[in-house]
Structure 1
């Protein structure tokens, strides 16, 4: 039965939604509102000539993988899976990370208890009377691991005994145990809330409900207040991260959409931005240099290029021109003063994605491009596995990847020259993108240290996307800035192999020292600072 057509505007749908906001509840209301916005966007897209079923499928049903072998198999081409693996993967088949049992050393955050032998000590005679030897300590102890569940935010209730005199009436209360402290909420509580909220995308209300179920109430408003107070304390660490990121050798940047409810077009802090810009974005910047990596997040109306330009204002004079890696969108390129130069490279993975999208329609042509790029990525993985320094890696790519890319360049040009591909077709558009940006896509063949793609920044933005999917929006600018701060600190810890929970705890405990010398309290050196000042043992 054909459904009856009913014309309704988006404004009418919004009005209907507002009418049932209270009975729906805030969470259900936000989900239904997002569905209405999606319907409106898809309707507007269908009204344009650019809309295709393939684009709608990619928009609504994301592909699970873009690996060459899988993409070609989905297009109906049988391939040798071994051909699309990097050299290291072909020779030795190793387990994927995260599979199998974890060793005791993997439990870095476990509370360790040393258990001495109840009957023997070093130097005692062997219990076997026929042996006659003596026992000595082993380097590796026996391990017994026990894992238990607990609330994310735990609480201890001290019941202090009270005694009252029957004559004078004075009340005498027991003294609190040593180490209880004066504050109701320990530093670790704020750190854990920040980890859950900005590191794992846990909304305030969801954590409030979980804590309520576990018998330790923690209202959403209290969570926000604790995190806000902590953000003010550790702001110097964020400022120092920005300063050091400006000195990086390689700078990756990109952005993704974000919602901030309180933003309007006439906001004072957006006076430098064109009035017609209404979008809100979270920009991700990953700076690599001096053996460490820094991840930064900035939410507002500014694009990634504008935020990168603001960071680079703190770059020290006399440093060589940094390498910038991004996709080919003009909004990712910063407007820099003439005295500051930038070596720009474009993301090869982004160009490859254009080919992946049209592979179902042009399987044979796309196969050559995908396999050529796969070979280049294989060489890059080999260089990484061997730990090649930048100059050696450049020579390696020139020798091995250079001929592959040159053959690919000739093939791309021949598709148009020999009229094998229609320029306005999907494949023609993908080839045009490669040819137009070829110099910047192949920067890794000319510049030492230049990466192949911008994947490190796209992975960083997943943290912001996780927040957007779970919490849907920031309520105001302060909330967005607070999220940027904690995401930057947490992700920088993850990039450098540091424990973000411990790092946030130590920043709070040493807030005064942080103000005086923030450079000594970075994720990659704060443990050395603690050891040097003797605070490490106290913290333990």
Structure 2
């Protein structure tokens, strides 16, 4: 142990040197302590984040477990006498799909903590009379690591049901077993990953079921009848389970499409009512489907549907998030809060024109025809400028459309002073005059459309669907339908045949990296890619 120096024997220079050494030691010790404290803080943060993740996961598992218990109670419990046989059948389809979707989510949530239980599906053999197509899976290399040549000793065969419109076939996946006589090493090619692990449907059959339900609006009981006539009995409960699983597996792709859409500077928005019957309820109530779409002038062709239990403006704010672009919409008050937070309102000239067309057709207004004619001139200019660049279109609007718009505004103001309050003509004029700033903002930006007709056309499939499936059976089923229809309609906007698109996506999705999910979006997908 070193003895402390006698400070009285040190020179001033030695004392200064000693003091400097002591200060250096103190600073080094402080750095070690700070580094240790920082490491402890980082460890505590990691532990806290892990605990929060586990708590959120456990909370979600609890919510889903409770939800599936309620659905099972409804599925196998007493039915309401207020529902007829068709309504009960449709509701059963929804319930089965919801249960399958929840169980898939639960398996995904529990996967990090414990491996999912391997369930052996119980199913009847596929009909022997169906044509078989053999798909062989063999190892890329049949040489053993010890240097010997492997010998094929057998194979495993699994059958999957495939479907092309009107025709069932069976894919026989044959995986040869190869063994080394010297070291007894056994190798076998893996089975390709599937959307439904160990299930019988191929991606083609799953795509057919989804397209038939969400594009052709065929309820599952009708699909069951069609499949039976084609030679295979597929219970609607099984079809519903497939749809529930597909809905969960496709959701990340829909989320990526939504994120891409919200990078657009200009969007269309519209909403329409959809009847919804929640399990256990005796009557339907009015839910809503919202549609958000890119414009015809954008390089992106996409639409996202959003299913909500009501029409509150909060649903629009939840969907748009921090987006602050230009929104083409009708005059629904639910968007007003978004306009107050930075979103720019773009009015729909077609709505304004429609007011005057109704008056002109009914013959109740002498000035309606004049308004329609002047608005027609604006649309004629738009048709001529449709294929121009945004910059040139802006110049055309400023030189040709703006004088017409200014003259129309002055004319409407002059006519309004002559029309009594409360008349149909006064209401039509007031509709345009009160929204004039929003209606004419398209003049200042060549990338902004004149009306909201694009998204109104994209929301029409839901009106057709209402006639066939009568109602949405639950909030979960409505959101699942909205997600899948977002992919189908976006594929069509990009010129893709939706069956071919979904078939390929369902085949590639199980092995697609999360970081490369954008490659499967409709605007990036190409056949055979």
TM-score relative to the length of structure 2: 0.61
| SS at 1:293 equivalent | coil
Question: Does residue 428 of structure 1 match 2:429?
Answer: no
Matches of 1:328 and 1:428 in 2, distance apart? 18
- Cα pair 2:276 2:286 within 8 Å, conserved: no
Matches of 1:20 and 1:343 in 2, distance apart? 46
TM-score relative to the length of structure 1: 0.60
| SS at 2:459 equivalent | helix
Q: Post-superposition shift, 1:199?
A: 1.3
Q: Which residue of 1 aligns with 2:331?
A: 328
- Greater relative contact order (Cα 8 A, min sep 6): structure 1 or 2? 1
Q: Which residue of 1 aligns with 2:355?
A: 354
| SS at 2:275 equivalent | coil
Q: Which residue of 1 aligns with 2:277?
A: 261
Matches of 1:522 and 1:408 in 2, distance apart? 43
Q: Which residue of 1 aligns with 2:394?
A: 394
2:306 to 291, 298, 305: 298
- Structure 1: state its 5+ residue gaps: 1-17, 31-149, 161-177, 266-277, 316-320, 532-540
Q: What are the within-5 Å matches in structure 2 for residues 361-510 of structure 1?
A: 361-384=363-386, 387-417=387-417, 419=418, 421-510=419-508
Q: What are the within-5 Å matches in structure 2 for residues 208-219 of structure 1?
A: 208-219=224-235
Question: Does residue 155 of structure 1 match 2:168?
Answer: yes
Q: Post-superposition shift, 1:28?
A: 11
Matches of 1:361 and 1:29 in 2, distance apart? 48
- Cα pair 2:227 2:234 within 8 Å, conserved: yes
Q: Post-superposition shift, 1:297?
A: 0.8
After superposition, the C-alpha distances for 1:13-66 in whole angstroms (9 at most, x for unaligned) are xxxxx87966xx426999xxxxxxxxxxxxxxxxxxxxxxxxxxxxxxxxxxxx
Question: Does residue 236 of structure 1 match 2:252?
Answer: yes
Q: Post-superposition shift, 1:458?
A: 0.6
- Cα pair 2:219 2:468 within 8 Å, conserved: yes
- Cα pair 1:238 1:489 within 8 Å, conserved: yes
Q: Post-superposition shift, 1:159?
A: 11
Q: Post-superposition shift, 1:154?
A: 3.1
| SS at 1:155 equivalent | strand
- Structure 2: state its 5+ residue gaps: 1-79, 91-162, 174-190
Q: Does the C-alpha gap of structure 1 residues 153 and 361 become closer, same or farther in structure 2, counting only changes over 3 Å?
A: same
Q: Post-superposition shift, 1:351?
A: 1.3
Q: Which residue of 2 aligns with 1:281?
A: 288
Matches of 1:334 and 1:487 in 2, distance apart? 28
Q: Post-superposition shift, 1:425?
A: 0.7
Matches of 1:374 and 1:365 in 2, distance apart? 14
- Cα pair 2:391 2:446 within 8 Å, conserved: yes
- Cα pair 1:285 1:308 within 8 Å, conserved: no
Computed over aligned residues only, the root mean square deviation of the Cα atoms, in angstroms, reads 3.1
Q: Which residue of 1 aligns with 2:317?
A: 309
Q: Does the C-alpha gap of structure 1 residues 334 and 513 become closer, same or farther in structure 2, counting only changes over 3 Å?
A: farther
Q: Which residue of 2 aligns with 1:33?
A: none
Matches of 1:305 and 1:430 in 2, distance apart? 25
Q: Does the C-alpha gap of structure 1 residues 21 and 502 become closer, same or farther in structure 2, counting only changes over 3 Å?
A: closer
Q: Which residue of 2 aligns with 1:190?
A: 206
Q: Post-superposition shift, 1:483?
A: 0.2
Q: What are the within-5 Å matches in structure 2 for residues 82-161 of structure 1?
A: 152=165, 154-156=167-169
Q: Does the C-alpha gap of structure 1 residues 287 and 495 become closer, same or farther in structure 2, counting only changes over 3 Å?
A: same
- Cα pair 1:394 1:447 within 8 Å, conserved: yes
- Cα pair 1:284 1:304 within 8 Å, conserved: no
Asked which structure has the greater CA Rg, the reply is 2
Q: Post-superposition shift, 1:331?
A: 1.5
- Cα pair 1:351 1:430 within 8 Å, conserved: yes
- Cα pair 2:273 2:288 within 8 Å, conserved: yes
- Cα pair 1:347 1:441 within 8 Å, conserved: yes
Q: Post-superposition shift, 1:302?
A: 4.5
* Paired residues, number: 351
Q: Does the C-alpha gap of structure 1 residues 333 and 456 become closer, same or farther in structure 2, counting only changes over 3 Å?
A: farther
Matches of 1:158 and 1:376 in 2, distance apart? 58
- Cα pair 1:303 1:332 within 8 Å, conserved: no
Q: Post-superposition shift, 1:457?
A: 1.0
- Cα pair 2:272 2:288 within 8 Å, conserved: yes
